Amino acid sequence: MNFKSHLDEFEVFKKVAKAAANLGIETYVVGGYVRDLILKRSCKDIDFTCVGSGIELAKEVANQYDIHVPLSVFKNFGTAMLKLEDLELEFVGARKESYRSDSRNPTVEIGTLQEDLERRDFTINAMAISLNAANYGELLDPFNGLSDIKKKLILTPLDPNVTFSDDPLRMLRAVRFAAQLDFDIDGDTFHALSENAHRLNIISGERVIVELNKIIQVKKPSYGFKLLFAGKLLQEFFPEMVELQGVDSVDDKSHKDNFYHTLQVLDNVCLMSDDLWLRWAAILHDIAKPATKRFNSKVGWTFHGHEDKGARMTPDIFRRMKLPMDERMKYVQKLVKLHLRPIALVKDEVTDSAMRRLLFEAGDDIDDLMKLCRADVTSKNNRKVKRYLENFDKVAQKLIAVEEKDQVRNFQPPISGEEIMEIFGLEPSKIVGDIKEEIKEAILEGKIHNNPVQAREFMLEIAKSKGLSPVLDRPNS
């Protein structure tokens, strides 16, 4: 196979080839760019391997341009990077040993192209395109990566035990590529992966979460999670999710398998949104079911309070998994906590105040919460599914109507704490907070409308019952 015409389309390859010729060193395009080119996927990172110094080559490439090209040199790793508009070019000399720039032991020996390719993770990532005059554009494929792409197969170039011990993160990468490309993992490679799964414990949480999030961001992440589970990798870093798996039966009554249910919810949510954090909410929505599971001979299996306990578990899981402990965690936590509430609003007799309370608590995340609830409908019975989804349509309509009337979704107190202090001549104190809270409660309950006039009237009433009077009404003021 020859990619000369592809190379000719892009200035960058001409410049790199010219720089390499000037220095007299063999140079190749390698790794993900070659794989993605064959798969017709777009790729903005181009890795170049040369039989010589990657840093010298990068400098010479920068010299080829009339414009200034930002260059970063990582001396310890023998790599250099150039930023060219939206492209990132990485240059490295061919290595004998596992060459990862972020590996714990980056000291490596200079090697040939063949030696470099064989220490890479998968055959589909171990192909190179020549930039050398003798065979410009030719595909070099010593491990039959092209044929594995055609077979849709992930396998390692060497004995998988060697490849995985060079960098155990590759076990997660195997699953990630399988999930992204919808490929299978070869039997021997998968066997080695499950045998070596425990070695994931030497990998930092930060690297693990990057791969996991990539798995979560594919079109249908359930496949990746099933591979992680079957390969015993999930057990290494996400035991709470593993706990969801399994079905208990008592007196012929069994509950559903919450692992597969969660995966179905996750896939469903992916049809509605690309948002990583909504996907995390789907993953965690039932996470406390194992911890809250009880059997009751009258009603069967119950999971009372799993939404609250799940919300309490969320920060610990985020912290341990090196996920961000900021508003994104709060968002996931909120959705986990509220995920049963819209179902409770289906009944006709539900009051507006219940609607207002949900709008108040969910705020701008109400639409995402409704998506999660719809995704949570995983019955196999199509009639039931239809009925449940229609019920959610009704709830959504009612929510819109109540919001139009009362605007509590982005609730702003109609009277501020400062105003309350000024009116009653108070210093900052608990009573100010109490009055604000009572006004908010009255609005949510529907006793008064959400406007300053009614709020003020109500405030004066409750203040009176607390023995307070406005400063202006007092005889000596």
Interacting residues toward ligand CTP by CB under 6 A: 31-32, 45, 47, 100, 120-121, 125, 167, 169-170, 173
Q: How far is the CB of 266 from ligand CTP (least distance, A)?
A: 21
DSSP 8-state code for residue 30: E
Q: Could you write out the three-class secondary structure of 248-295?
A: CEECCEECCCHHHHHHHHHHHHHHHCCCHHHHHHHHHCCCCHHHHCEE
Q: Which is nearer to ligand CTP, 120 or 371 (CB)?
A: 120
Q: Which is nearer to ligand CTP, 121 or 406 (CB)?
A: 121
Backbone angles phi, psi at 232, to 5 degrees: 65, 20
Q: How far is the CB of 182 from ligand CTP (least distance, A)?
A: 14
Q: Which is nearer to ligand CTP, 35 or 279 (CB)?
A: 35
Cβ-proximal residue to ligand CTP, closest one: 32
Q: Which is nearer to ligand CTP, 167 or 307 (CB)?
A: 167
Q: How far is the CB of 431 from ligand CTP (least distance, A)?
A: 57
Q: Which is nearer to ligand CTP, 101 or 397 (CB)?
A: 101
Q: How far is the CB of 323 from ligand CTP (least distance, A)?
A: 19
Q: How far is the CB of 169 from ligand CTP (least distance, A)?
A: 5
Residue where the block lists tokens 């050398």: 132
Q: Which is nearer to ligand CTP, 94 or 463 (CB)?
A: 94
Instruction: Give residues with Cβ within 8 angstroms of 342, minimum separation 6.
Output: 358, 369, 370, 373, 392, 395
Instruction: Give residues with Cβ within 8 angstroms of 359, minimum separation 6.
Output: 366, 399, 402, 403, 406, 408, 409
DSSP 8-state code for residue 244: T
Q: End-to-end CA distance of the chain, in Å?
A: 93
Instruction: Give residues with Cβ within 8 angstroms of 90, minimum separation 6.
Output: 45, 46, 47, 48, 54, 79, 80, 81
Q: Can you say whether the dihedral through the CA atoms of 229, 235, 237, 241 is positive or negative?
A: positive
Reading the block at residue 360, the tokens are 């108040």
Q: Which is nearer to ligand CTP, 31 or 78 (CB)?
A: 31
Q: How far is the CB of 230 from ligand CTP (least distance, A)?
A: 21
Q: Which is nearer to ligand CTP, 29 or 311 (CB)?
A: 29
d(CA 63, CA 65): 5
Q: How far is the CB of 462 from ligand CTP (least distance, A)?
A: 60
Note the residue count of the chain: 477
Q: How far is the CB of 289 from ligand CTP (least distance, A)?
A: 34
